A and B are shown apart, each in its own frame.
Chain A
């Protein structure tokens, strides 16, 4: 299918009248481009300058916080229309008019507004689809009906006499196809991997082996036999796949049908599987929530946001847990151990030891030995017995 089945128009807007095609006066020149405050280039500290004290960085570098953040210009005033095919059925259009230019053209329009006409390039004479641009709009996304078709867009307006005046016309853009090609012509070519391609320095004359088949029903296959065991192919299990060994049997309708049957799910694809989908892949557990406590991100290329955010929780909840902090002090050159593990003392002889404290009774022996070999010992005993009402989770 190359065409959508529904929707009489290319866009949601009513089609306009045939274009007169008369050009509008050119956009007045835009004011000189904005000067960029030098702070932008000075946003980085001098290399080698002492680093700011930690904690160093919120998400917005602090250097920019002192001055108003410079902005990009709202428009450059080139008066052009940029048209891009986003997918088989959607175009993106942007028109580069300054506010002053927009107002001037709107003033020339009977309806005090601009419009965008979109039509397939090959049907320039036919009634185009039309989108009315809002008074300050500079872009729109346009639904179109046909995949694999080149479209053009015209920005313009209607005069009081209903004549269409064109401000700018886009370059044509082609929407991607959304179905297998009807063209089943098969032709093969041979390009040796280690030989430069035709047109490049070092390529042998006539290196390209492209040739058309005698006809669609008798496709021609050109095969080049390679030495067995050609470098670079590794066989880890069983016999190697053989290199091309001369013209194959003609491809049959049965083969074509068998492959189409095998590909069935791929041809009717509904699941998109790229790096932007990792979040969806992992979301089942994400949605169940954890005991996470703030918005978060990780590597780009994936969509991980707010593991604890509202969407991850259902209703009221409580997590609670407990830890112990054992702390003390001794001679700075003493050796201290807690539960048999040596503890690093601070230069002043203080120490701190943190422990997760689950329910139960625990004894914690500790010892300190001076450099003279004098021993001091302590045994601390702890008991935790938690009682909960309602659903209460552990926080870590």
Chain B
């Protein structure tokens, strides 16, 4: 009995857009992910299509990622970023003239950036459209996520907020992809009972939980995480497979830690003379990653060896073969137990492939090509396809869970970030109050009040993003996260005061609209 493998990649970044500054360091999050993960993924899809490989892949493009990828300002800045990157790589080919291994790597990077740039310009900077094309051609299933990646269980006590996060995401997906999404990535795989009510309203048919979301479901699922369950209202919950997760994620076993792979941290942005680098850095005077890295992981040593691309590619082939073999063994074992083909669902952050694990895209490519080249009874499938083929599934309620540390909400609710939630609670209730006031207004609110109401919704959504408490917890750039939460909450409050007082500062409103410009068609009635 063969089995199904469902690869689900989750592409997400918080909405970071600062037109008020010519250069803004955190905007590089998008540019780095685009260069190292999003475009390489599109290039993979293109290659599979060209070579006639049948590999169905599932990809979350969160609403904030779509909004940023489609934003003209950020598109222009990304082109500038690519130009800078290529200039730096070219300079490196000169600087490393007497160091052949580095010289060859500098040339490799230059060619790679050039290809990325060519792809990006070739699709007119419209990466959302490029992904959409692959979905329209049946090679990719794109799913949505909560509008600003809010951790839904922490909103569950305010149903209108759940509705707004999900229904606005659905609406925006329609605008981006010309159809309804079928699946949704619950941010951080965080589920709590009740979410499915809103998913039902949005006609979303499936979501993913972490392993214990299914293992601890009630009643106990017969097939564990190797088949989805239906919630009582018919939404399918798929559970993450643990073995395939560990092979990629695990600190002990994970492929990305192989000594032959490129070292993430040894970047010339930190290695080289700052005076030399400064003209290419997003915030001159402040070191940051450039994407040009010359060393491999090497091992537990301070002395890092030079990255050898050919050796890394050989490692990719070995790891892809190992991963494939492990899935086949898994299917064979489970087939002896099951009365249906087992499903292994393997979700990963899309940015892991390329950005963090530089050879990740090559791993995916090797995996697909090896699977297609062998007759071992493995089928790539998307969750929607699975449900078409297997519409009968066990009914159970998933357990509250997430894929974060310790499996619940600890990452997003602790001493470093708990202060956010009382403010959110008040803002959420005020947003519902505003939506009710607008509904009751005669004639209905239009013009400035309507704009202010929509902007209040945007500010609230942005304040709800799970990224800010996450960053506060990890301490990576906590001041920025704190500032963002405060800014959005204070802007929301100001808009609330404008709307309740009836005195709207048109100029102030226009400025905020120009800055936080996502979801142009936002529907405030979802907060009712």
Contact = CB atoms under 8 A, between A and B. Distances in A.
Interface string A175-209: 01111111111111111111011111000000011
B21 A297 contact: no
Contact of A235 (B54, B337, B400): B54
Contacts of B374: 237
B234 A208 contact: yes
B102 interface: yes
A396 B268 contact: yes
A45 to B, nearest CB: 4
B416 interface: no
Given A223-B392, A294-B286, A353-B94, A54 B22 contact: yes
Contact of A263 (B55, B215, B392, B509): B215
B405 A60 contact: no
14 contacts: A44-B515, A57-B21, A87-B410, A176-B400, A235-B54, A236-B368, A236-B379, A241-B1, A241-B3, A255-B338, A259-B337, A266-B215, A276-B470, A299-B13
Contact of A300 (B386, B410, B470): B470
A324 to B, nearest CB: 9
Interface residues of B, number: 184
Label chain A's interface by main secondary structure: loop
A236 B54 contact: yes
B409 A86 contact: yes
A292 B290 CA distance: 13
Contacts of A357: 98
B216 A178 contact: yes
A70 interface: yes
Contact of B505 (A41, A87, A190): A41
A310 interface: no
A230 B388 contact: yes
B487 A43 contact: yes
Contacts of A180: 215-216, 220
Interface string B478-492: 011001001101110
A187 B395 contact: yes
A60 B270 CA distance: 22
Interface in A340-376: 341, 353-358, 360, 362
A259 to B, nearest CB: 5
A6 interface: no
B480 to A, nearest CB: 6
Contacts of B303: 393
B409 A188 contact: no
A242 B417 CA distance: 49
B242 interface: yes
Interface string B145-178: 0000000001001000000000000000000000
Interface string A16-45: 000000000000000001111010111111
B333 interface: yes
Q: Please indicate which of the listed interface residues B12, B356, B410 has the most CB atoms of chain A within 10 Å of its own CB.
A: B356
Interface in A263-305: 263, 265-267, 269, 271-286, 288-294, 296-305
